[in-house]
Structures are given as C-alpha cells and as structure tokens.
A = this chain, B = another copy of it.
Amino acid sequence: MEAGGRESGNALLFLTDEQLRKGIEAMFFAYRGFTADPDRILADMAYGRAHHRALHFIHRSPGTTVNNLLAILGVTKQSLNRVLRALVEDGLVRNEVGKRDKRERHLFLTGTGEDLERQLSDAQRDRMRTAYRAAGPEAVAGFRQVLEAMMDNEMRKRYDALIELKG
C-alpha cells in the first residue's frame, strides 16, 4: 500500500467517499466550463468539438500523421476522416504526402486554420488563465498532479509523448 497504519485518523480524510464525490462533481462541472467558450464560437460555424480537437493537435504537432492523430484522439479513422475531410475542403488543413513513406499524410494548418485555432484556444486559454491566476501556482501544481494521476496508462503515454515534443 503506502504509509498507512498510524496516520489512520485525520490524515486520510481527503479520501472519504464524500470528498471523492465532490471531486467527481467538480470534474463534471469544470469540464463543461472548459469546453463552453470554444463551443460557443463553434456553434455559429459548421464545426463542433471534434474539429476543435483536430485543429488543436495539428497546430501543436504540425506534420503529424493521420495515424498519430487517431491514437491521440482515440477515435476511429472513419470518424476522424469525416472531420479532416471537412477541414481540408474548407481550406483549414493541408495534406502532405510523406516523403519517406508516401502512404502517410502529414497534416498542417493553413493560415485560415491557424486563425481559427488561435481564436478557439485563446478563448480556452483565457478561462484557464483566469482560473490559474485565481488559484495560484501551488494549486495549479496540485491540479496537474491529480489530472496526470487520473489518466489511463495509455493516455498518459500519449500525453507524455506530447509533452516531450515542446515540453
């Protein structure tokens, strides 16, 4: 287990079912806030959250392949393909046949794509920044620690891999 034993009294009060339930509900409501601003922007367009996610990760890792994106997003290629096709048709995403492996398509944002991505992530970052500022650096460190511990091993790998790129 871990420390345990002697510190049975108050030290573990943060692990009671009540505390866990609060955390679960906080996660639920916070996630809605987390996506609210981009959702509002996207509602006017023909795009949704799935398009936002694609734009985000292409922006973040330019030249990434379809398979990479598939693994990160955790959806089927048919589902992702629908999103990518729309973005390519509308000129937000550019497709480039791989040099080494010509089966692969490397994905890039166009100028227009970068513009929309920036608009969306600005909104999302603004909220995040406000929350971070209100909570302070130590709270933020704790926030990140808990989130990372909450991921699946699979997802933590993907997350870590992303972090390494620019981390």
> For chain A residues 135-167, which have a beta carbon within 8 Å of chain B?
135-152, 155-156, 158-159, 162-163, 166-167
| A32 to B31 Cα, complex, angstroms | 11
Q: For A128, what are the chain B residues with a Cβ–Cβ distance below 8 Å?
A: 20, 23-24, 150
* Protomer copies: 2
Q: How large is the interface on A (under 10, 10 to 19, 20 to 34, 35 or more residues)?
A: 35 or more
Interface flags for A68-89 (1: CB within 8 Å of B; 0: not) read 0000001000000000000000
A130 at the interface (CB under 8 A from B): yes
Q: Which of A1-24 contact B (CB under 8 A)?
A: 2, 11, 14-15, 17-24
Q: Are A21 and B133 in contact (CB under 8 A)?
A: no
